[in-house]
Structure 1
Amino acid sequence: MTKPFIIFAVVSLLGGCVGYPRLLNYPVDPGGRSLNSLGSELNPQVSKRYVVFTTDRRGSQDVYMFDRLTNNLVDLPGLNSFDTIASHPSVAENGRYIVLCANRQGRSGIFLYDRETRQLRNLTANLQAEVRNPTISADGSRIAFESSVNGQWDILVYNRSGQPLNIPQEPR
């Protein structure tokens, strides 16, 4: 092997490490004002600028949003409450809508939070089934989640208003 070949090989290998994906390290903030804290951070979901996740840093399992551009937590007034266990949040690309699964008084539901209006709405209040693992489309118009409505786990798709969308059952 010649020296120029070895240099070319090393540069090629190292040059391939600079693009996507990147490893970002957010240090632990003992005060709980950053992405990582002394508590547990679970179920992260990234949508361009924002990361949503659940954490128990305040003593209850709540949803938090982190802005990767400003490196700060985003205030979410009206979203979290002490009588609710939140899990599996998902955020629309622009950060306006957050969908999550929450358990209140022993009953699970899929909730949609609107950051502009600061309103939290149960999309599945009339659905007599267990629900889990919601996700929201990039534009925030559709929410998909798992439901046990037929006695087995199926996927349902709703719009932001909480109305089921007519998705064909058989592939065409």
Structure 2
Amino acid sequence: MALAGGLTSCTGSPRLVDFPFDIGGRSLNSPFSELTPQSNGRYIVFVSDRHGSQDVFLFDANEQRLIDLPGLNSLDTIASHPSISQNGRTIVLAATLKGRSGIYIYNRDINQLRNITENIQAEVRNPTISADGNTIAYESSENGQWDIVICDRNGKRLNLLIPNL
């Protein structure tokens, strides 16, 4: 897969990314399936089947190498839709474990993965994280339809004031 599209960095200007092809999967450009890439300018987080399961990978565009994510991926989890904070220290993702979906936050400083939706009895999907890593938005089917939930990094829902339109 050649990840050569208009990824938008934090400055808002599109740029073309074109990294060398690596048949062994040690670069961004590989023969494996790469899904839902997100970029903060320096880092590109994406899902790939490089190790025989649907895992999250992090690529450092400046150093042109994959970054290890210990404690993030496991054989019994199907990951999807990762998003990364501006400083690259926090990743949020959707994952399915034992048939149940959840939104997970991964802290790269301490290599810790936490489910922030474990008490929600609904399907959840498509998370995104704010630039500062403190606010997460995702979709939830809790009310029988797909609603957007906004919460802090611990999963506590935030009450946002929405002006009358």
* TM-score, normalising length: structure 1: 0.85
State the distance in 2 between where 1:67 and 1:130 align: 31
- Identity, % of aligned pairs? 61
One of 74, 90, 99 as aligned partner of 1:97: 90
Partner of 2:103: 110
1:156 matched to 2:149:
yes
| d(CA) in 2 for partners of 1:160, 1:79 | 17
Shift of 1:169: 5.8
**Backbone CA RMSD of aligned residues:** 1.3
Alignment partner of 1:28: what SS?
A: coil
Alignment of 1:19-58 (within 5 A): 20-58=13-51
Kindly tell me: are residues 45 and 25 of structure 1, through their superposed partners in 2, closer, same or farther at Cα, counting changes over 3 Å? same
* Corresponding position of 2:133: 140
Secondary structure at the residue paired with 1:51?
Answer: strand
- Find the aligned partners of 2:164 and 2:49 in 1 and give their Cα distance: 42
Aligned residue for 2:4? none
User: What is aligned with 1:6?
Assistant: none
Amino acid at match of 2:113: L
| Structure 2 residue identity aligned to 1:95 | G
The size of the alignment, in residue pairs, is 153
In 1, Cα distance between the equivalents of 2:106 and 2:37?
Answer: 17
- Structure 2: runs of 5+ lacking an equivalent: 1-12
When you count strand as a share of all residues, which structure comes out higher?
Answer: 2
Gap regions ≥5 residues in structure 1: 1-19
2: CA distance, partners of 1:171 / 1:43:
34
The Cα of 1:73 is off from its aligned counterpart by 0.5
SS of the residue aligned with 2:14?
A: coil
What is residue 4 of structure 1 aligned with on the other side? none
Matched, 1:120 2:109: no
**In structure 2, distance between residues paired with 1:26 and 1:151:** 43
Q: Mean Cα displacement is larger for which, 41-50 or 24-33?
A: 24-33
**Displaced runs of 4 or more, over 6 A:** none
Q: What's the secondary structure of 2:15's corresponding residue?
A: coil
